Amino acid sequence: MFARLIIAGFLTVTATAPGLAQGAGRNVATAATPAPDDRARQWLVLVDDKNYTQSWSQSGAAFKSRRKADAWAKDASATREPLGAVASRGLKSIDLSRNTVAVIRYDTAFAHKAAAVETVTLNLENGSWVVTDYSVS
């Protein structure tokens, strides 16, 4: 019974104070927002499948401002295609030390490079995680 009162109270506050539910205009993740690691993996699948134009379109403003879609496609192709197909990708680390930035590193094995580290940086934009940088070494 007590738990129901707490939940009802929370729902009432959330419903009557939209600024709280929406973060009062700030970038706030919600339960419907994929976690940064999930979003990074979704984006990496596009790159793995050579869908460079779509990966560019799903990137954040900072990514798009540094390179145009055709330049990204050319750079990504030149970087990734010599490595071959992804054999495995495992989470190495997640750095969430800054509020709206996530830096995720993966230990990745490619067909032509057995040990590589992929780094995906994401920013929280309009309530969703978007890729703002990518590198592989």
Domain co-membership, 56 together with 121: yes
For 64, the 3-state DSSP assignment is helix
Backbone angles phi, psi at 98, to 5 degrees: -110, 140
Domain co-membership, 102 together with 131: yes
- The pTM of this model reads 0.76
Domain co-membership, 55 together with 21: no
Domain co-membership, 54 together with 102: yes
Domain co-membership, 7 together with 53: no
Question: pLDDT tens digits for 16-45?
Answer: 333 333 333 345 555 556 799 999 999 999
In the chain, the amino acid numbered 51 is: N
**CATH number of the domain encompassing residue 125:** 3.10.450.100
Domain co-membership, 58 together with 5: no
Domain co-membership, 98 together with 39: yes
pLDDT score for 99: 86
Indicate the number of domains in the chain: 2
Domain that holds residue 66: 33-136
Domain co-membership, 8 together with 39: no
Averaged in consecutive runs of 10 residues, what is the pLDDT profile of the chain (137 residues)?
Answer: 37 34 43 82 97 97 96 96 97 94 98 97 95 97
